[in-house]
Amino acid sequence: MTTKLDGVGLIYVATFEDIAITAAQDLFEIVAPSNSRVVIREFEIGQESDEGDAQAEMLGLKIIRGYTSAGSGGAAVTPYPVAPWSGAATAGSTVKRNNTTIASGGTPKLMRATAWNVMGGYRYYPGFRGERIMLDAGERCVFRLPNAPIDSLTCHATLVFEELGVIGM
C-alpha cells in the first residue's frame, strides 16, 4: 500500500541545474500516466549567469497543455518522491527537460502567459487547488520559453507535481 502525503495524492519533484539556455524551448514537458490525473503544484526557474543591470532582460513564459506530439532535443528527468522513506512510489508521469524541438499537435490550451525578469527568477505557485493546472490521464503539459534569450543563461528549474492515483478507484 502506498502512503499519501496529504490524503489526496503522491507528490514528486523534477529538477535541472546548471543548464546553459541559448534557444527557445520547452523547459519541462510532463505527460500524466495513462491511469492517473496530475496536478501541477509549482514551477520555478532562475539563472545565475547574468548579474548586472546591463544584462537584465524579460523573457516570455507559457504553460500550455494539450499537445499530442512530444518535443525532442532535451533529456529525460527522473522525478523523485517528496516522501523520504524507503519504498515510496516512483512517478508514473514522464518528464523531459530542455526540448529545443518543442511539443506540437493536438488542440493546445494556453493556461498561463507571463514574463520572467531574469534578474529575479519566476515562480508559479498557485495557492488553492482550484487555481492549479490539472492534467487528465495521458495529457501533456509544457513550460515553454517561446523566444531565445539575448545571451546564454545558466539556469536551474524545479517542477513539483502530484499524481492523484488510479482513476476509478
DSSP codes of every residue in 88-150: PPPP-SEEEEEESB--B-S--EEEEEEEEETTT-EEE--SSGGGS-EE-TT-EEEEEE-S--S
Instruction: Report phi then psi at 55, rounded to 5.
Output: -100, -5
Enter the pTM of the model. 0.89
pLDDT digits (tens, 9 = 90+) for 77-122: 999 999 877 677 889 999 999 999 999 999 999 999 999 988 888 9
Instruction: Please compute the mean of the pLDDT values over residues 27-34 and round it to a whole number.
Output: 97
- pLDDT score, position 56: 77
Q: How far, in Å, CA of 111 to CA of 129, rounded?
A: 15
Do 162 and 39 form a contact (C-beta atoms < 8 A)?
yes
The 10 Å Cβ neighbour count of residue 109 is 13
- pLDDT score, position 20: 96
Q: How far, in Å, CA of 20 to CA of 141, rounded?
A: 22
Q: Hey, where are the domains in the chain?
A: 10-166
- pLDDT score, position 123: 95
More reliable by pLDDT, 49 or 115: 115
Q: How far, in Å, CA of 79 to CA of 76, rounded?
A: 9
Instruction: Please compute the mean of the pLDDT values over residues 126-134 and round it to a whole number.
Output: 80
- pLDDT score, position 100: 97
Q: Which position has the grid cell 499519501? A: 4
- pLDDT score, position 33: 95
- pLDDT score, position 53: 57
Query: Among the listed ranges 63-67, 74-78, 110-114, 130-134, which one has the minimum average pLDDT value?
Result: 130-134
Residues in the chain: 169
Q: How far, in Å, CA of 39 to CA of 12, rounded?
A: 10
Q: Which residue, 60, 55, 50, is CA-closest to 24? A: 60
pLDDT digits (tens, 9 = 90+) for 135-162: 999 999 999 999 999 999 999 999 999 9
More reliable by pLDDT, 165 or 163: 163
Q: Which position has the grid cell 516512483? A: 90
Give the dihedral sign, CA 88/90/92/93: positive
Do 126 and 4 form a contact (C-beta atoms < 8 A)?
no
Do 71 and 28 form a contact (C-beta atoms < 8 A)?
no
Instruction: Please compute the mean of the pLDDT values over residues 43-56 and round it to a whole number.
Output: 80
